[in-house]
Amino acid sequence: MTLPLAGITVLDFSTLLPGPLTTLILAEAGARVIKVERPGGEDMRGFPPHVEGTSAPFAVLNAGKESLVLDLKAPDAMECLRPLLTTCDVLVEQFRPGVMDRLGLGYETLSAANPRLIYCSITGYGQDGPRAGEAGHDLNYQAVTGLLSLAPSMPAALVADIAGGAMPAVMNILLALRQRDLTGRGSRLDIAMADAMFTFAWFALAEGAATGRYPGAHENLLAGGSPRYALYPTRDGRYLAVGALEQKFWMAFCEAIALAPALRDDRADPSATRAEVARLVAARDAGEWQAALASRDCCCTIVASLAEATSDPHFAARGLFGARAHLSSGSTLPGTPLPIGPHLRRDPQEVRTVPGLDED
């Protein structure tokens, strides 16, 4: 099988999550990824838990890559990198704006010697603007863009790192490769994790544009503003996720829980409808609701634990956990599930070795 990124070489100067996940996806699609690490290794190598001396988070994000250990401030660093810099197709970096320029690795310098280079920078706030040099993490990017205000709580997912950093980076790299096919020239990509958080607020933004008022906490339809789209505790302390937005699904759900007809028009008194749904759901255990709703086709599911979800026959049948990260000791870890079509990525049975620091 010919993989879509076969023959593409990627230099990866990134650390932690956004950049490494970006280059993991590129590697799974057939690219050769060379991870440039400082002496002692990137920060993620120290993250617990460790399996036989190897960080499990590092392993699942970097299996299938090569590692080049190099002090970028050393006098001979550029000489060591030059053969790769002049021939690679893609460079991914995740430093604050200006750092790569000070190291002699800025876009203008490298593209002069390698005009076909696609240079992707991933930062919190982008390469310019008043916040460009500001430190931040995922929670900060969701907070400063207003996304977190729609349903204030501790997010369960690193939305900014993954959906604001890694995914847009991959998307733009692939678009830039296609553009290079047409023009023969590479380009500079400025990926700001905070920017993409506004995309996730699309419904609330549309509501604000139409009414002149942006929704507050738990007022937006998709963030707790409707009884039809909410989490309800069950008697045994679990949760029923109700996503019955469309009328046919809502009516099927109302029938299943025997909601009083007067409360089924949730526009009349949303609070009363929500309170009664909560009372009815809390009267039965999660298993009872799962059985009662299984044949109703009403977009309602019990919130599964991660352990339950990873052993779900459906996800096993789709091969989400087929890839393995192979440690130098011979042990393996399940690879990170990635949203890539099976015909566009490496065979799950192909060995994906986790790079050690002694490789160059």
Say whether 137 is catalytic: yes
Q: Which residue has the tokens 């990260």?
A: 325
Amino acid at 217: A
54, β-bridge pairs: 51
Instruction: Give yes or no for a contact between 145 and 164, defined as CB atoms under 8 angstroms apart.
Output: no
Place of tokens 């049975």: 349
Which of 137, 218, 285, 326 is flagged as catalytic? Answer: 137
User: What is the DSSP annotation of 290-340?
Assistant: HHHHTTT-SSEEE---HHHHHT-HHHHHTTTT--EEEPTTS-EEEPPP---
Question: 29 CB contacts (<8 Å, ≥6 apart)?
Answer: 3, 4, 5, 340, 344, 345, 346
In 10 A of CB 56, how many CB atoms?
Answer: 17
The encoded tokens of residue 26 equal 């590129």
Query: Is 161 among the residues known to form the active site?
Result: yes
Q: What residues have CB less than 8 Å from 328, skipping those under 6 apart?
A: 54, 353, 354, 356
Rounded Cα gap, residues 198 and 186, in angstroms: 28
- The catalytic position among 12, 89, 138, 161 is 161
> Which string of b and e fits 96-134 if b means at least 16 CB within 10 Å?
ebebbeebebbbeebbeebebbbbbbbbbbbbeeebbee
Is the peptide bond preceding residue 342 cis, with omega within 30 degrees of 0?
no
Active site residues: 137, 161
